Structure 1
Amino acid sequence: MALYYKWLHHTTFDYCAKMARDNHGSPQEDAALISLSPSTSSSPRPQRVSDLPDELLQAGWEKCWSKRESRPYYFNRFTNQSLWEMPVLGQHDVISDPLGLNAAPVPAEGGMPTTPKETKPAKRRLSEELPVPDITKKLKMESTTPVPTPTVPCSPAVPGVSVEEKQFANLIKPTDVYWDLDIQSNVVVKPSPPSHLIPPPSQSLPPHPEVELLRSQLVLKLRQHYRELCQQREGIDPPRESFNRWLLERKVIDRGPDPLLPSDCDPAVSPSMFREIMNDVPIRLSRIKHREEAKRLLFKYAEAAKRLIESRRASPDIRKVVKWNVEDTFSWLRRDHLATKEDYMDRLEHLRRECGPHMAAVARDSVEGICSKIYHFSQDYAKRIREKHLALLRDANIPEPVPVAASPDKRAFCHPVRLTTPALPVQGVVDIQQDGSLVCVRYKGESVRINQSYFSKLFQLYRLSCTDDPGSEKFLPRVWCLLRRYQVMFGTAQYEGSGLQGALPVHVFQTLHKIFGVTSECFASPLNCYFKQYCSAFPDTDGYFGSRGPCLSFFPVSGSFEANPPFSEELMDAMVTHIENLLDSSDQPLSFIVFIPEWRDPPTPALTRMEESRFKRHQLILPAYQHEYRSGSQHVCKRDELYYKAVHNTAIIFLQNEAGFQKWTPTPERVQELCTAYKHSGRFSNSSSGVPEKEPTKEEGSGTSKDGVNN
């Protein structure tokens, strides 16, 4: 049997390789990446015939022997990839590009990647050079090692960048503008109090492409571990977006040094992850539209409940109760053929009510084990990332940052995060290429994409906010790190993470600034911010682009703010505590306009607390499907996908101290103008002109603006 499995694996690989050659018809693509289905992860591992360098072994690669082809090949035990040629770390994204079609071509030994002659742009003569804006004059890549002359045409002012200087100048010219970076702010802030245990954002380590590449690989590996644990222990797929919400919930209480992976949390078992997995035990309940779907779901639930109770340790009484209810349900299904959809749903609710608590008690230890194991994996990965980062600092003779206590009485005007640790030199080249309306930023074959308008926005934010790089020489490496960080946090599935990154429509931001003096966002990112003043989750990557750091580590004493948090219950609750503490401790005008979903069944603690808060000055409700959000993927999506309708009511709550209420009173006229702004925003104005509407996913429907997580 084991021999049969080995033959099946090699046959499958050979067939896929043949299909790739037939489809592309190019002998150069015989070495293209063949990505097998994750479902084959349980297959016996191919026979290992020799060792590889430590870097490849740590990434999961092994050298195996193909008996059918009589030659060696390379197999990755983490991703089930198979390659004929020796793999190159960081070659391409196996999720978005499984065949490696967009990957950089593997250069010949000792050479550089070449560009086919028919695709090479003609080299301009000096007499044909056109003047370029001064902002691109000094843009180049910093490298500690000599870089061989590439074979693709390069701008003399941008060494290693595969576009001409004039083309780069065109890339930083905005076409569509959905922000206003000219709005100034006079917000005054104070240092964090001694009771705030999280290190200041300025003490974060500077970003580096090598570190970010390692982090992205480990986060992808952690997601895969999570999926496998849910399937093996509970027989379910992980709840959609549950890993992303786990990251948000953990970072609220995390005291660890990594900006993304939690490593110092108490308790280790995440309430968010535990709750979401338990909701899907024994099976996930989907939205029902038809009678046959309801009947099928009831049958599957009863079968899953019986299977669960028979495969776990349970007391005789629990077994008896669950089995009796399951058999009663089967009997009812066989007997009642005229039942309606409502009858099936009522019966399902009865079965859940009778059996749910017993199944939860039986599955509790297993689900807690999943949560604990994922957290400890995260701890280990965060430690490995930290060690690599510190090693790069030592190689550059940069000392590790030492905590510095700030004076609690010192107040200053709000400014972007300034890291105390000097920037690390970048080995290798970060290049850019234009692909239609998208700009591809690439480092060691790993590409991240962004719409040209948003690339221009990042350059503007960088010029406005960065103080340690006047020549913009480090711009591209920092853009790559930023885009890679958010790409990894979003997840790998289509539309995944978009709902955690949504933003208010442009007309709404304009109205908030005009009538309520809003100049800053409490939860945003460089990609979705409207103002140049905003809080975001990652001070290390975002500070160069204007971020004031995480919202929960931000202590303003005056100003008017918009707060649209990711819809994580734990994060929203922590936000309410933080805002009330700020309002209570300031005698200057301070105002927060909060946008959260009106969840009533059951009500969220954050909504209940704000409705009962002594700082609440006004509240209004926007009905579901009658207002919209900007997509969290606005920096890469098409124009007709920028907006989606919210599938939940949205509650807008004004939290203000007395001075803030006197300055920015939510009068009926002002509130009405705010409601009117929604009617003039993207989707509704586009609908009248015939632009097709995009149906929102469940995650997009809970659209939010992201960040401000307590890193």
Structure 2
Amino acid sequence: MSSTTSANVEATCSRGAPVPHSINNFETDLPGDLLSQGWRKFWSRRENRPYFFNRLTGDTMWEMPPSPGSGTGGAGYNSADPLGISAGDPQAQPPPTPNNNGGGNVVNTNNKRRISSCEEQGPPLKKLILNGPWDLEIPTNVILFEKAPSMIPHPHPEAEALRFVLVMKLRQSLEEICRSREGIDAPKDCFNRWLLERKVIDQGGDPVLPSYCFPEISMSMYREIMNDIPMKLVRPSMNAEARKQLSKYCEAAKKLMEMRNAPPESRKIVKWNVEDNLAWLRRVVGANFEDFQERLQHLKTQCQPHITEAAKSSVEGICKKIYTLSTDYALKVKEKNAEILKEANISEHGIKTSVPNEHKVWCYPVQFALPCPRLPQVDFFQDREQTVLRYKNDSLGINNSHFNKLEQLYRYGCADDRKFEYFLVRVWMLLKRYNSYFGTNQGEGAQNQGAIPITVLECLNKQFGVTFECFASPLNCYFRQYCSAFPDIDSYFGSRGPVMDFKPLCGSFEANPPFCEELLDTTFNHFDRLLEESLEPLSFIVFLPEWRDPPPQALIKLESSRWKRRQIIIPALEHEYRHGFQHSLPK
């Protein structure tokens, strides 16, 4: 396929071109003038054909490059972009030039990671357009001040595999502690919301595991567990189910108050309400559905404050235990990364991060200050619909269309691996990271990854000049520039890092944050500061749930903001989201 032009070229060429002599003869089987320019020929085992790589410029082509004197070069040959990937459409308008108010011009600095929005000059040979539910050809209109490189280590598959095991172990610990201490299952997606809430305040170094948070007790996890005590309530569908649930709640509330060290007055109130409802159940025959639900709601209103007080210390202990385990696990991953760097003779202490000048630049992916250690290879399998990557008997799958999308994002966002040596292993690490982050149970975490429909994003781009998503991932992004949860692994595929660390001066943004109250509140405070500090055109179009019973503090703050220009409510059943796991769903 034309969209998979240069993936894993270097990773596979070492296993031999189909020539009986030597690989060196195959590499140099080119005209002398091309050899002098740095061109070499290699064999792509995946595509089963040769390709041409320039060791001096890092360019890659499927067809033989034109000779300097052949007359096919010049204006028709873009030597900096032989595939025509980065060259813009001649009909398209160039990105707007920022108004620097007397400051420096937008510059393309000599960073290790090239700014992804740079467009090469000259007409292309062929524009490579990757079809799908995205538009990766839209350039950025976002300007910011140049940033110092990050000191985070490059991801490594050994560290990623260890982190996955530890995160899964932490999920299992939450389930077991909830059952043993409270006799309930851990609330659905509670762990994922805990990760979101903790990362708002976490100052630790691990991208997934919270390790330096104050306060240590998560109010998000505390509320969700407490809401399911003494038992989880569900919406019944029939009278018999409603009657049974009311009876079970009475028994569970009575049992909990008898087992806990609760004040006598609290025990008395709960016991009286429970016995009153049990007597009503024995006395009344033929009550309707609404009667049972009204009784249950009244009982919970009367008993829950006393149940909460009785279970408070136990639930706080659950939250603190999970955080303590997370801190220990994050330390193990850190030690593993330190071991990998030591084996590669990479020292964090010898790295000097230059303090950037106040240069305004187009936004660009996160850059690393540390060099990348040598990464191992992964096995690659592909059929008509799915690509499978395997590292040490650990296989991960992704739809071919999204695999091709990641390849295109890698071209734009990762200039320090132009030979695609590490592309496959980094895709494997990306999938492993998101599997640990969202969980492996059916449907777990899908809500946090849901995306806005394509037609809406097309409209935002055409009508409002939106070119950037504040909450996305390489797997579900529509534009090639976006913010995401993980600045290390996502940056290879174009991520500008977490939105809280992103400080644009101008641009138009789409924000569809995960529905976590703490994250929403922190996000809108961040947007307020950006709007307050910027003198350039800056706008955010935010998508939120219509929560009104009660409304969260973030929604109240947003509606009362002096920066609000318009608010639209779309009724239920008149809107939709794209599935969060579209990259792995069958067609």
- Relative to the length of structure 2, the TM-score reads 0.79
Relative distance call for 1:608 and 1:576 in structure 2 (3 A) is: same
The answer for the alignment partner of 2:395 in structure 1 is 447
Q: Could you tell me how far 1:209 is from its partner in structure 2?
A: 0.4
Q: Are the counterparts in 2 of residues 521 and 531 from structure 1 also a CA contact under 8 Å?
A: yes
The answer for the alignment partner of 2:144 in structure 1 is 189
The answer for the alignment partner of 2:68 in structure 1 is none
* 1:370 corresponds to 2:318: yes
The answer for the alignment partner of 1:231 in structure 2 is 179
In structure 2, how many angstroms separate the alpha carbons of the residues matched to 1:527 and 1:397? Answer: 33
Relative distance call for 1:405 and 1:471 in structure 2 (3 A) is: closer
> Which residue identity is paired with 2:361?
A
Relative distance call for 1:577 and 1:510 in structure 2 (3 A) is: same
Question: Deviation digits for residues 604-629 of structure 1, max 9, x if unmatched?
Answer: 11111010000000000011111111
The answer for the alignment partner of 1:413 in structure 2 is 362
DSSP-derived class of the 1:592 partner: strand
Q: Are the counterparts in 1 of residues 43 and 49 from structure 2 also a CA contact under 8 Å?
A: no
In structure 1, how many angstroms separate the alpha carbons of the residues matched to 2:263 and 2:457? Answer: 58
1:255-274 correspondence runs (5 A): 255-274=203-222
In structure 1, how many angstroms separate the alpha carbons of the residues matched to 2:314 and 2:45? Answer: 52
Question: Deviation digits for residues 377-430 of structure 1, max 9, x if unmatched?
Answer: 000000000001011101101112668474584432211111111111124x30
Relative distance call for 1:487 and 1:370 in structure 2 (3 A) is: same
Q: Are the counterparts in 1 of residues 194 and 220 from structure 2 also a CA contact under 8 Å?
A: yes
The answer for the alignment partner of 2:107 in structure 1 is none
The answer for the alignment partner of 1:140 in structure 2 is 11
- Bigger shift: residues 397-406 or 262-271: 397-406
> Which residue identity is paired with 2:585?
C
DSSP-derived class of the 1:511 partner: helix
Residue 292 of structure 2, aligned match among 323, 344, 365: 344
> Which residue identity is paired with 1:140?
A
In structure 2, how many angstroms separate the alpha carbons of the residues matched to 1:231 and 1:258? Answer: 28
The answer for the alignment partner of 1:380 in structure 2 is 328
Q: Are the counterparts in 2 of residues 258 and 382 from structure 1 also a CA contact under 8 Å?
A: yes
Residue 165 of structure 1, aligned match among 40, 45, 48: 48
DSSP-derived class of the 2:459 partner: helix
Question: Deviation digits for residues 253-273 of structure 1, max 9, x if unmatched?
Answer: 000000000000000000100
Q: Could you tell me how far 1:165 is from its partner in structure 2?
A: 3.2
- Bigger shift: residues 259-268 or 392-401: 392-401
The answer for the alignment partner of 2:490 in structure 1 is 542
> Which residue identity is paired with 1:139?
E
Residue 524 of structure 2, aligned match among 543, 566, 576: 576
In structure 2, how many angstroms separate the alpha carbons of the residues matched to 1:396 and 1:413? Answer: 33
Q: Could you tell me how far 1:310 is from its partner in structure 2?
A: 1.2
The answer for the alignment partner of 1:636 in structure 2 is 584
In structure 1, how many angstroms separate the alpha carbons of the residues matched to 2:48 and 2:569? Answer: 50
Q: Could you tell me how far 1:219 is from its partner in structure 2?
A: 0.3
In structure 2, how many angstroms separate the alpha carbons of the residues matched to 1:463 and 1:313? Answer: 62
DSSP-derived class of the 2:543 partner: strand
> Which residue identity is paired with 2:334?
R
Q: Are the counterparts in 1 of residues 3 and 404 from structure 2 also a CA contact under 8 Å?
A: no
Relative distance call for 1:166 and 1:620 in structure 2 (3 A) is: farther
> Which residue identity is paired with 1:480?
W
In structure 2, how many angstroms separate the alpha carbons of the residues matched to 1:140 and 1:239? Answer: 44
Relative distance call for 1:201 and 1:617 in structure 2 (3 A) is: farther
Q: Gapped runs of 5+ residues in structure 1?
A: 1-129, 149-154, 193-199, 640-711
Q: Could you tell me how far 1:434 is from its partner in structure 2?
A: 1.9
Q: Are the counterparts in 2 of residues 160 and 430 from structure 1 also a CA contact under 8 Å?
A: no
Relative distance call for 1:333 and 1:542 in structure 2 (3 A) is: same
Q: Are the counterparts in 1 of residues 481 and 495 from structure 2 also a CA contact under 8 Å?
A: yes
The answer for the alignment partner of 2:94 in structure 1 is none
The answer for the alignment partner of 2:373 in structure 1 is 424
Q: Are the counterparts in 2 of residues 139 and 471 from structure 1 also a CA contact under 8 Å?
A: yes
The answer for the alignment partner of 1:179 in structure 2 is 134
* 1:433 corresponds to 2:370: no
Q: Could you tell me how far 1:175 is from its partner in structure 2?
A: 7.8
In structure 1, how many angstroms separate the alpha carbons of the residues matched to 2:279 and 2:3? Answer: 79
Q: Could you tell me how far 1:159 is from its partner in structure 2?
A: 12
In structure 2, how many angstroms separate the alpha carbons of the residues matched to 1:620 and 1:132? Answer: 39
Q: Could you tell me how far 1:317 is from its partner in structure 2?
A: 1.4
Q: Could you tell me how far 1:202 is from its partner in structure 2?
A: 2.1
Question: Deviation digits for residues 118-175 of structure 1, max 9, x if unmatched?
Answer: xxxxxxxxxxxx99986258331799xxx99xxxxxx999999985636999xx9998
> Which residue identity is paired with 1:411?
K
> Which residue identity is paired with 1:629?
Y
The answer for the alignment partner of 1:398 in structure 2 is 346
DSSP-derived class of the 2:567 partner: strand
In structure 2, how many angstroms separate the alpha carbons of the residues matched to 1:617 and 1:318? Answer: 49
Q: Are the counterparts in 1 of residues 9 and 44 from structure 2 also a CA contact under 8 Å?
A: no
Give the number of aligned pairs.
492
Q: Could you tell me how far 1:431 is from its partner in structure 2?
A: 1.1
In structure 1, how many angstroms separate the alpha carbons of the residues matched to 2:249 and 2:159? Answer: 45
1:661-676 correspondence runs (5 A): none
> Which residue identity is paired with 1:453?
S
Relative distance call for 1:314 and 1:425 in structure 2 (3 A) is: same
DSSP-derived class of the 1:637 partner: coil
* 1:318 corresponds to 2:266: yes
> Which residue identity is paired with 1:384?
K
Relative distance call for 1:133 and 1:260 in structure 2 (3 A) is: closer
Q: Could you tell me how far 1:226 is from its partner in structure 2?
A: 0.5
Q: Could you tell me how far 1:595 is from its partner in structure 2?
A: 0.3
1:52-201 correspondence runs (5 A): 135-136=6-7, 138-140=9-11, 163=46, 165=48, 177-190=132-145
Q: Percent identity of the aligned residues?
A: 51
The answer for the alignment partner of 2:188 in structure 1 is 240
Question: Deviation digits for residues 166-217 of structure 1, max 9, x if unmatched?
Answer: 6999xx999851111110113111368xxxxxxx772221011000000000
Relative distance call for 1:565 and 1:613 in structure 2 (3 A) is: same
DSSP-derived class of the 2:417 partner: coil
Q: Are the counterparts in 2 of residues 189 and 558 from structure 1 also a CA contact under 8 Å?
A: yes
Relative distance call for 1:311 and 1:217 in structure 2 (3 A) is: same
* 1:292 corresponds to 2:240: yes
In structure 1, how many angstroms separate the alpha carbons of the residues matched to 2:196 and 2:4? Answer: 41
In structure 2, how many angstroms separate the alpha carbons of the residues matched to 1:491 and 1:443? Answer: 19
DSSP-derived class of the 1:439 partner: strand
In structure 2, how many angstroms separate the alpha carbons of the residues matched to 1:364 and 1:244? Answer: 22
> Which residue identity is paired with 1:420?
A
> Which residue identity is paired with 1:289?
S
In structure 2, how many angstroms separate the alpha carbons of the residues matched to 1:161 and 1:486? Answer: 29
* 1:502 corresponds to 2:450: yes
DSSP-derived class of the 1:547 partner: coil
Q: Are the counterparts in 1 of residues 3 and 130 from structure 2 also a CA contact under 8 Å?
A: no
* 1:215 corresponds to 2:167: no
DSSP-derived class of the 1:468 partner: helix
Question: Deviation digits for residues 2-41 of structure 1, max 9, x if unmatched?
Answer: xxxxxxxxxxxxxxxxxxxxxxxxxxxxxxxxxxxxxxxx
Relative distance call for 1:479 and 1:619 in structure 2 (3 A) is: same
Q: Could you tell me how far 1:579 is from its partner in structure 2?
A: 0.1
In structure 2, how many angstroms separate the alpha carbons of the residues matched to 1:443 and 1:558? Answer: 42
Question: Deviation digits for residues 670-711 of structure 1, max 9, x if unmatched?
Answer: xxxxxxxxxxxxxxxxxxxxxxxxxxxxxxxxxxxxxxxxxx
Relative distance call for 1:426 and 1:133 in structure 2 (3 A) is: closer
> Which residue identity is paired with 2:554?
A
Relative distance call for 1:337 and 1:166 in structure 2 (3 A) is: farther
Relative distance call for 1:458 and 1:137 in structure 2 (3 A) is: closer
Q: Are the counterparts in 2 of residues 142 and 426 from structure 1 also a CA contact under 8 Å?
A: no
DSSP-derived class of the 1:262 partner: coil
Question: Deviation digits for residues 349-378 of structure 1, max 9, x if unmatched?
Answer: 111111110000000000000000000000
In structure 1, how many angstroms separate the alpha carbons of the residues matched to 2:471 and 2:430? Answer: 16
In structure 1, how many angstroms separate the alpha carbons of the residues matched to 2:411 and 2:372? Answer: 17
Q: CA RMSD in A?
A: 2.9
